[in-house]
Amino acid sequence: MKCPRDGTILSKVSLLGVELDKCHRCDGIWFDRGELDRIRDSGVTDAEEVLEKRYGNPKAVAEKVEGHMRCPRCDGRLQRFSYSYIEAVSVDRCEKCLGLWLDDGELNAIAGQKKKMDKELDPGRLKSFLRSIGRLFGKE
Ligand SMILES: [Zn+2]
Ligand SMILES: [Zn+2]
């Protein structure tokens, strides 16, 4: 499989038991359908750092492609797609096989959201919030 941006042969990398295809030139990553959801649900927030530590960190030169990029898997057209989880992140999705191409930084933008949400629902913070309400009503 080749990078849709620069034609570099994608290398197999593995992250949390999921096999991904990564471009070592521009740092983009190909996710087959469902793979990104698995990474996201694992709650890992530094996925890109983990990959960079293991496989190196090339200078990100995400080349602009004229017209549509082509899917490395099935040669379908990649289209801008709003990957919506908590906050939408704009990525490239194949209209045929529904695989996703993520440029440098986009993986962390998606995977980091779960952690952010968990923090907002942190039980410690909730407790202190309830305590401050209790104080309002003269308890404590
Ligand atoms: Zn590339
Ligand atoms: Zn495809």
pLDDT tens column, 15-53: 999 999 999 999 999 999 999 999 988 878 888 888 989
What mean pLDDT comes out for the span 101-128? 79
Residue by residue, DSSP assigns 47-88 as: HHHHHHHHH----------SS--B-TTT-PBEEEEEE-SSS-
Which ligand is located closest to the Cα atom of residue 11? 1
| 3 CA to centre of ligand 1 in angstroms | 5
| 28 CA to centre of ligand 1 in angstroms | 6
Give the type of residue at 90.
S
CA 51 to chain centre: 12
| 82 CA to centre of ligand 1 in angstroms | 21
| 95 CA to centre of ligand 2 in angstroms | 7
pTM: 0.79
Which ligand is located closest to the Cα atom of residue 60? 1
**Share of residues in the chain with pLDDT > 70 (%):** 92
pLDDT tens column, 76-86: 999 999 998 77
Q: Break the chain into its structural domains and give their ranges.
A: 11-136
Which ligand is located closest to the Cα atom of residue 62? 1
Residue 114: the pLDDT is 65
| 57 CA to centre of ligand 1 in angstroms | 12
